[in-house]
Amino acid sequence: MLMKIGASMAPGRRLHRWLTGRGFRIAVSVGLLAFLISWIDLRGMLAELVGVRYDLVILVLVAMLTTRIVGAFRWYLLLHVHPAVSFPGVVRLTFVSDFVGYFTPGSLGIELIRLYGMAKTTGDGALSAASMLVERAIGLCTLVLLVLLGIGFHPPGLPPGIGPLAWLGLALLVAGTALLMTQPARRLTLYLLASAKLRRVHSAAEKVYFALDHYRRRPGLLVAAFATGVLFQLLRCAETAIGAAALGFHLPFELFTVIVPVVILITLLPISIAGLGVREVGFVYLFGLAGMPAEIALALSLLTRLLNLLMALPGAWFYIRHGVVASSR
């Protein structure tokens, strides 16, 4: 009888896992895209894509390549103290993780590939995790600061309510960073992980905290990484601004420093496949508030997505040739 009950419940459990896993994310992506297609003039959007300026498309690709190199250099700054890590290796691992990220929810796949690859390269999982925590914290802070900087210029068509949310996000980021770096918060975390069942997690947390202290003792390194992070985010905004110009639509650059980071932050949520659908709705809604027609906004999102995928394709070749490592080989 128990076996029959278990067998009858198994399909329900499988359905639950499907709904809360990949199937749910695929449904979100398809549903959002279907929603956009249902009321946007697809012929008009295709006409915008066909009439794109190819010289500016090439410039977008150059900007995307530069963005990846700058992003890799930011991470390399945090890791170059380890002799096994090389800058070309970090660039390769960046391309590999970006390629994998197109088939995973949110940015989860990117982070896991980078963590695995760097841990494999250095043999030090704690250092790899700490470098990624610092890099992610810098990345999120620079995104929020760009939003606040753009709002300070008071560009026309500014989406309402973004300012207070940006300040709230910055406050949460500062609080989260403080929790990672302050001794009382660390002691509390380690105390909560003190049970025998969590011994391995407790040990891993201690090692990560120890690695984080390396960065706390080097403020100059953090400042350099932060400055590189600002350049990285500005380049991401420039990619979209040039893409809009390629489609024949121009907006003040300050608007891109507000809207693009907000869309990036939204797509970090693991509710879709590589942000598909979420990003497109974000572009149509937020750029629509700034006066961009929905057809152009959707074309802009799809154009930059396609170019980003094209730029990520070398990651497949790097994976075949070198695997998932960041060494000099």
Which one of 9-18, 126-135, 159-168 scores highest in mean pLDDT? 126-135
pLDDT of residue 201: 73
Residue 11 has pLDDT above 60, yes or no: no
Look at 157-166, 240-249, 305-314 and tell me which has the smallest mean pLDDT.
Answer: 157-166
Query: 48, 56, 70, 60: which is closest to 238 by C-alpha?
Result: 60
Taken as a whole, the chain contains a residue count of: 329
**pLDDT of amino acid 180:** 67
Beta strands in the chain (DSSP E): none
* Span 36-77, pLDDT tens digits: 888 888 888 888 888 999 999 999 999 999 999 999 999 999
Q: Residue 31 in 3-state DSSP? A: helix
Confidence of residue 1 (pLDDT cuts 50, 70, 90): very low
Q: Is 277 exposed, middle or buried (0-12, 13-18, 19+ CB in 10 A)?
A: buried
Supply the DSSP symbol for 26: H
pLDDT tens digits for range 156-197: 666 666 767 666 766 776 677 666 667 777 777 776 777 767
* Beta-sheet strands, E only, within 61-108: none
Distance of CA 192 to the CA centre of its chain: 30
Q: Which of 75-89, 199-213, 225-239, 253-267 is modeled with the greatest confidence?
A: 225-239
Share of the chain above pLDDT 70, in %: 82
- Whether the pLDDT of residue 81 is over 70: the answer is yes
Strand, coil or helix: 37: helix
Q: What crossing angle do the helices spanning 87-101 and 108-122 adopt, rounded to 10°?
A: 150
Is-above-0.85 flag for pTM? no
Handedness of CA 268, 271, 274, 279 (dihedral sign): negative
Confidence of residue 276 (pLDDT cuts 50, 70, 90): confident
Where does the pLDDT of residue 15 fall: very low under 50, low under 70, confident under 90, or very high at 90 and above?
very low
**Range ranked top by mean pLDDT from 140-144, 182-186, 211-215:** 140-144
Report the C-alpha gap between 239 and 68 in whole angstroms.
Answer: 12
Cβ neighbours of residue 26 closer than 8 Å, sequence gap 6 or more: 273
pLDDT score at 299: 93
Q: How confident is the model at residue 9 (pLDDT cuts 50, 70, 90)?
A: very low
Least confidently predicted of 130-134, 237-241, 325-329? 325-329
Residue 232's nearest CA partner among 135, 95, 108 is 135
Q: What is the pLDDT of residue 170?
A: 66
Q: In this structure, what token pair is assigned to residue 187?
A: 């002691």
